[in-house]
Structure 1
Amino acid sequence: MHAMGEPPEPSTSGFRKVIHIDMDAFYASVEQRDDPSLRGRPVAVGGAAARGVVAAASYEARTFGVRSAMPSTRAARLCPELVFVPPRFDVYRAVSRQIHAVFRDYTPLVEPLSLDEAYLDVTADLRGIGSATRIAEIIRQRIRAETGLTASAGVSYNKFLAKLASDQNKPDGLCVIRPGEGADFVAGLPVARFHGIGPRGAERMEALGIRTGADLRGVELAVLRKHFGAQADYLFRAARGIDLRSVEPDRPRKSVGGERTFDRDLSSGTALREALDKITEIVWARIVKAGVHGRTVTLKLKTSDFQAITRARSFARPVADQDEFARAGRELLDALLPLPQPIRLMGLTLSGLDGASEGGDVRSDGDAEPAAQGQGVLPF
């Protein structure tokens, strides 16, 4: 039985077998693989300039607190020995194609999230391997043998849990969450580990006394909707280890962006420009991680009375770098100043993407059902 108002989990026979593969410090690991002098040293992929952003950090750099999307100037302060390496996207895309070719040897149901991570639905035992866990082990072994890189994997009965599991034993780790274990696993995690809950979301939850999955599970859905709006239903299910989304092969990426709702409405040009600069840094890091190029920059504002304002600028060629992206955003904002109402939300997006597949030229081999009739169904 399940508590009143809680969505039931699927029956045991209906459980999917989902693997989430996440390459370990992908860009930085490729650089260390190709340049032996970088091995064992703290490495950041990205620009060292004043407006540079860390696209990826090696595990040696992470011990100093260096993280992706961090301004390069801050990363250099945290780790004075940090080595900055310019990104080589052609190389990363080529390696990504190798990795995704391995995935497609085991299932056509591959949903790329970026060049270095993907969901795989292996419910149908297409190659008669015997278990989802064994498939994950084989994939990790092949990636190491064919690329010289390591990958971490999570195996579970839905996407949410598989992604949590892949992060559990990083780097070069494997974690399996079986049916009946999801709710307990989630209960012991800090909510900041949940996909989709960023630092500011975690701060808002902390203010409400919500620190762990168990705390979140104890909050009624009506209360979550009051404080978190459209995200509430996701949070309610996530706290119970429930995720009914299917793996979507070759899901096209239409844009890369980000937005922020401010703690207090902003009205001055100076405050709005500063906020835009921070959003630009975060979004550009996402663009770099996704390995895409785009031609249209869109600024989104929402006023204190919830009126939406959007302005866009399109280029004849892809936006060249972060400076050009930032400059386009600032020009769009400056053209709107002074604004008639204070601003409660701001967002910046890059669209009109070249190479719009999220996994770097990943092809779908069809829309097979997870467990087609006549095929074996994998245990965990």
Structure 2
Amino acid sequence: MTSSDALSPVRLRRALDAVPAYRPGKAPTVLEGVDAYKMSSNENPYPPLPSVIDVVRDAVTGMNRYPDARMVPLRERIADACGVTADEVVTGAGSSGVLGQIMGAVVEEGDEVVYAWRSFELYPILVSLAGARSVQVPLTADARHDLSRMAGAVTASTSLVIVCSPNNPTGPAVRAAELEEFLARVPRDVMVVLDEAYLEFVVADDAPDAMALYRSHKNLVVLRTFSKAYGLAGLRIGYAIARPAIADALRKAGLPFAVTTAGQEAAKASLDARDELGVRVKEIVGERGRLVDGLREQGWDVPDTEANFVWVPLGADALAFVEAADAAGLSVRGFPREGVRVSVDVPEANSRLLQVAAAFRAERADGPTAG
């Protein structure tokens, strides 16, 4: 193909010029005689439960039919789990898909969207696609949301604020008291989305009770997913809890049939198996603690994390660490000149990661290690 063949006279939206490309987690390099582990996408390392696999197997036999577009049975199950009504539940293709619906329903061209940075990479993409402007508020020195500065960044042009807790990729969760104070400062006509994709891994005593805050703040929308703790990343299903009028608007902004029948059935089966899944979550949390402790013992400045991943602030050494991990059959998520996010995996993978980190640090004993 010549360079002229790649050109087209079709006019594309100018907003696309500001849209960064989303970079999914890379698969590990396959090495002979070495088990490879993908620690780059914050996935649950364990396969679905047998009970979930059974309902998915049954569901795919009807894949010639469209899925239930209204998803009332699933919404009722989620509502029961969250203490709300089905009218307050919006389902979509992962929490990312639901966030896209929120953008479509709330954000006008030229609006401002406030969120912390660094945070989830999809935020600036969705904001740019909406023709809006990102207002990125830097994290604190300990990789946390600076909620006071975020509240101060809200202007008359702000239509949406996103709080990612625990924060992806750094790990800390916001504290209940600071989030309550933050919500009190945000104007009531500005929507606040609390993105809790990693909620199930949170064990901190001072973490917020999202549903309690939801009941007292009518502009708060709670965003969650079945992708992480429930292990349904490949089926793409997430949900939001919002006031009925807001929920109706979000459903209007969504694509019909976006959640497959298999996804709906798997989500319901996963809710039935929460106790069994909770055992796996505890195992991941335990391994998370082992990773954090091991890295800190080596001298790495690792922030607290309430998610299923660990952040290592490597600065200029970030991509070199990614290469060192890949050479050992591990893929991790590198952020150039900032750091590396490591997803908690099975014990063998986590132990190997600690070995890689120790060797990497030893090789750079006289160089930068924490940015």
Q: TM-score, normalised by structure 2?
A: 0.29
Structure ranking higher in helix proportion = 2
Bigger strand share? 1
